[in-house]
Amino acid sequence: MKPLGQLIIEEKIEGPDRVLGFRGSADILSMPLIQEQLNRYKKDKIRLLLIDLSATEFINSPVWAVITLFARNKQNSTQVAIVGMSQRIRGSFEMMGLNRELKTYESAEMARQDLGLPVEQ
């Protein structure tokens, strides 16, 4: 079994939207990094946060909790969507009932279209 990779977070700024790409393994050791990033977003006026899991090998439940709590926060108006989730990750995501909490899409374009949020520059 090959070891899971350390998490690298890649941020793309697309007008009022942000795309966070998780590359590697999102586990308990990466939680402070993810929390720091999301805390920054609480202060910014972000319309949509897309979390791209297309390069994610693993994501554990404490990391999902951090993302879900950010999405539930009614003090910010940021919409949160998950894109590019593999079948392996989707299995645990659905088992935890997170599909009732977070919207998922195949791509950023599909998410924006469904949410009625055109790309802004």
How do residues 45-56 score in pLDDT, each as one tens digit? Answer: 899 999 999 999
Residue 116 lies in a domain: no
| CATH code of the domain covering residue 93 | 3.30.750.24
CB 108 within 8 A of CB 19: yes
Residue 87 lies in a domain: yes
Boundaries of domain holding 41 = 30-109
The tokens for 79 are: 């919409």
Residue 66 lies in a domain: yes
The tokens for 69 are: 């709590």
Adjacent-strand bridge partners of 55:
23
Integer Cα distance of 77 and 24 in angstroms: 29
SS3 of residue 121 by DSSP? coil
Residue 51 lies in a domain: yes
Residue 91 lies in a domain: yes
> pTM of the entire structure?
0.90
Residue 92 lies in a domain: yes
Q: Which amino acid is at 65?
A: A
Per-residue pLDDT of the chain (121 residues), as tens digits, is: 344 468 999 999 999 999 999 999 999 999 999 999 999 998 888 999 999 999 999 999 999 999 999 999 978 789 999 999 999 999 999 999 999 999 999 999 999 999 999 876 5
The tokens for 28 are: 């308990």
CB 45 within 8 A of CB 16: yes
